[in-house]
Amino acid sequence: MSVAVTVAALLLSMPVQAGKPEISRFVVPFDLGPIVGCGDFEVWTSGLERDTLKLWFDADGNPVRLQVQILITESKYYNNLDPDNKFVSQGKNGVGENITLDLEVVGVDPDFGFLIFGDRHESGAPFRLTLPGIGHVLLHVGTWFYDASEDVLVHKGPDFVLAEGETAPALCEALQ
């Protein structure tokens, strides 16, 4: 949601220049809520992300493409019943993978200024929490395409991997 509000603000404040994208960067806190159920408690995650928005315009000044790059710079995985004492965190050197969203802009809502999107391409791996002998806890890979003619998302490649296999029990054990 913060990306949509920021894009709307960018549309109203940017000088329009065809061919060269307008670029905006900002840091956003996030709290994703539960990612793993561990019986009596849940593992939640929160942190900071650094977002870069690039918005391209055509020769008439209409937005035609938006690229959003999200870099998770800090993350904390915690026991929701005792978040101050039972957590695992990785700072700027341990998280850093990108997710990139490429969105075709097909119009602008005339009442609110929000962009209307067509085809969408999404790729990357935004989270990397390494537990000894386990590896990634939350990983996103693969590519999603939005087929506007069918109004469906089409997926190519691997899907979300959310604390699969031995990872979920290891994370629960680490935060017990």
Positions in the chain short of pLDDT 70: 1-18, 91-97, 125-148, 153, 155-167
117-149: b or e for each residue (b if 16 or more CB lie within 10 Å)? beebebbbbbbbbebeebebbbbbbebeebeee
Q: What is the pLDDT of residue 137?
A: 58
pLDDT digits (tens, 9 = 90+) for 7-30: 544 444 455 555 789 999 999 998
pLDDT of residue 25: 96
